[in-house]
Amino acid sequence: MKKKPELLEKYNSVIQDQLDKGIVKKVEEHSTEGLKHYIPHRAFIKPNKTTTKLRIVYDASAKSNNEVNSLNECLYRGPVLLKNLCGIFMRFRLNQVAIVAEIEKAYLQVRLQKSDRDVTRFLWLKNYKDGYASDANLQEYRFCRVPFGIISSPFLLAATVESHLDTYQSPIARKIKDNIYVDN
């Protein structure tokens, strides 16, 4: 990205936006206790897209070498909570009115427990304009929310939505729960 300063600036602005929204936090303490894992990341660019042209992709399946497991290999995927898509389409046509909703950055709406945040660490530059990844210019961050790219993200999102719907015992909430579809 050194050769494309506008890309580097956009990349940095995405991380700063996540920091401002509480999605990630700087790691200030340097303890040696507990599990720690660093997730590599890279830019994914869609120049034809009108909204988000640059997205940061975190690779929880990456390994530092063949002798260690990736983060995704250490996590439980969780059961599939998706409803039968054919049944959803059939029920969709039964009523006069249909509601479709999309949760913006849905995975990032689900909080991680504090005890699990250190396995979602990543590194970024303190001064991105400098462009060099020296020890003095690296900052550690960790996710406070579930990042996209974690094998259990679809289950965690679907379970969270179902849990919220269970708190409302209305006929509408039951219909929504019967027709929920989490797309990843």
Q: What is the pLDDT of residue 177?
A: 67
5-178: CATH, from 1.20.1250.20, 3.30.420.10, 3.40.50.300, 3.10.10.10: 3.10.10.10
pLDDT of residue 168: 74
Instruction: Read off the DSSP letter of residue 111.
Output: B
Q: Are 177 and 91 in contact (CB under 8 A)?
A: no
- Residue 75 burial by CB count (10 A; 0-12/13-18/19+): exposed, middle or buried? middle
Per-residue pLDDT of the chain (184 residues; tens, 9 = 90+): 778 888 899 999 999 999 999 999 999 877 778 889 999 999 998 878 777 688 899 999 999 888 999 999 999 999 887 777 788 788 778 877 777 777 778 888 899 999 999 999 999 999 988 867 888 899 999 999 999 889 999 899 888 888 887 787 677 766 666 666 555 4
What local confidence, expressed as pLDDT, does residue 46 receive?
Answer: 84
pTM for this structure? 0.80
DSSP-derived secondary structure letter, 76 = -
Domain definitions of the chain by residue range: 5-178
What is the pLDDT at residue 112? 93
